[in-house]
């Protein structure tokens, strides 16, 4: 069981509201990620971080922003939510694959966001 | 274009039966291939990770195979259980960067009926 937590699990808000999706991990991982997933579709990387004070945009253009002030915490913020932001948001952290190359991902349970 | 294609899109089987899910990829240069299980409303959980030199890896009733020459992988589930109902996602990593870019398939939605 991965020690990575997302809150809230579900969020329904009105258009124009500012929201922050929380993500915390207790595994001491430096690398963290935010993915966006629509039903029946593949995950898309929207933000990632190599460590404290490091943030990068992912492959999918997103109006959200992230911050990494502490190793364990990687919140995602939408300044003004719109219906097009309705989706599932998955947070992940990673560690080096044992004996191999690349990173092994550990995912949180996700936040299902609905913007009305 | 680097892509990961999975088939079938969905599958229904009876409890106790075996099934095989397919993954074809065009990612190059190849680093590793992973299979994840994603329960409804949850995040994906890693089942197996295989590198270029590995052609089979098991995790309990799950057995993954990899043919790096044909760029195909399969996930075989033996003696299915109701708890196997989930989406199974194939993910391929390239060697392009330290982070290793990940390419996700859309998943196969498996439903196990009693």
Q: What is the pLDDT of residue B113?
A: 97
Contacts of A15 (CB under 8 A, 6+ apart): A80, A81, A82, A83, A115, A116
Q: Does B112 touch chain A (CB under 8 A)?
A: no
Q: Give the Cβ contact number of residue A113 at 10 Å.
A: 20
* Percent of chain A residues past pLDDT 90, beyond the cut: 82
At A85 the three-state DSSP class reads helix
Q: What is the pLDDT of residue B98?
A: 55
Distance from CA of B109 to the nearest CA of A (A): 9
- Tell which residue, A85, A53, A24, A56, has the closest CA to residue A45: A56
pLDDT at B96 over 90: no
Q: Is B105:B4 a contact under the CB 8 Å cutoff?
A: yes
pLDDT at B88 over 80: yes
Mean of the per-residue pLDDT values of chain A: 92
Distance from CA of B44 to the nearest CA of A (A): 6
Assign residue B16 a region (left: φ > 0; alpha: ψ between -120 and 50; beta: otherwise): left
Q: Do the chains contact at B107 and A112, CB–CB below 8 Å?
A: no
- Tell which residue, B86, B47, B49, has the closest CA to residue B66: B49
pLDDT one-digit tens code per residue, B67-80: 999 999 999 999 99
- Tell which residue, B70, B67, B40, B37, has the closest CA to residue B52: B67
What confidence tier does B10 reach under pLDDT thresholds 50, 70, 90? very high
pLDDT one-digit tens code per residue, A50-106: 999 999 998 887 889 999 999 999 999 999 999 999 999 999 999 887 766 678 899
**φ/ψ (deg, to 5) at B44:** -65, 145
- Chain A interface disruption, residue of B9, B33, B43, B94, most A CBs within 10 A: B43
Contacts of A99 (CB under 8 A, 6+ apart): none
pLDDT one-digit tens code per residue, A6-42: 999 999 999 999 999 999 999 999 999 999 999 889 9
């Amino acid at each position: 069981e991965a020690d990575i937590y997302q809150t809230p699990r579900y969020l329904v808000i009105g258009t124009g509201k500012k929201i922050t999706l929380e993500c915390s991990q207790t595994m001491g991982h430096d690398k963290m990620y935010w993915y966006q997933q629509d039903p029946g579709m593949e995950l898309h990387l929207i933000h990632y971080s190599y460590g404290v004070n490091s943030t990068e945009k992912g492959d999918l253009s997103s109006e959200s922003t992230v911050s990494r002030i502490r190793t364990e915490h990687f919140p995602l913020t939408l300044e003004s939510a719109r219906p097009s932001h309705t989706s599932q948001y998955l947070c992940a952290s990673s560690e080096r694959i044992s004996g191999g190359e690349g990173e092994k991902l550990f995912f949180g349970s996700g936040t299902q966001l609905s913007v009305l | 274009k680097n892509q990961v294609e999975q088939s079938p899109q969905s599958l229904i089987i009876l409890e106790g039966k075996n099934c095989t899910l397919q993954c074809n990829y065009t990612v190059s240069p190849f680093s590793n291939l992973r299979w994840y299980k994603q329960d409804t409303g949850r995040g994906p959980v890693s089942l197996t990770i295989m590198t270029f030199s590995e052609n089979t890896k098991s995790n309990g009733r799950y057995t993954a195979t990899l043919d790096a020459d044909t760029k195909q992988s399969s996930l075989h589930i033996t003696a299915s259980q109701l708890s196997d109902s989930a989406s199974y996602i194939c993910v391929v990593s390239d060697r392009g960067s330290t982070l290793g870019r990940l390419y996700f398939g859309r998943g196969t939605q498996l439903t196990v009926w009693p």
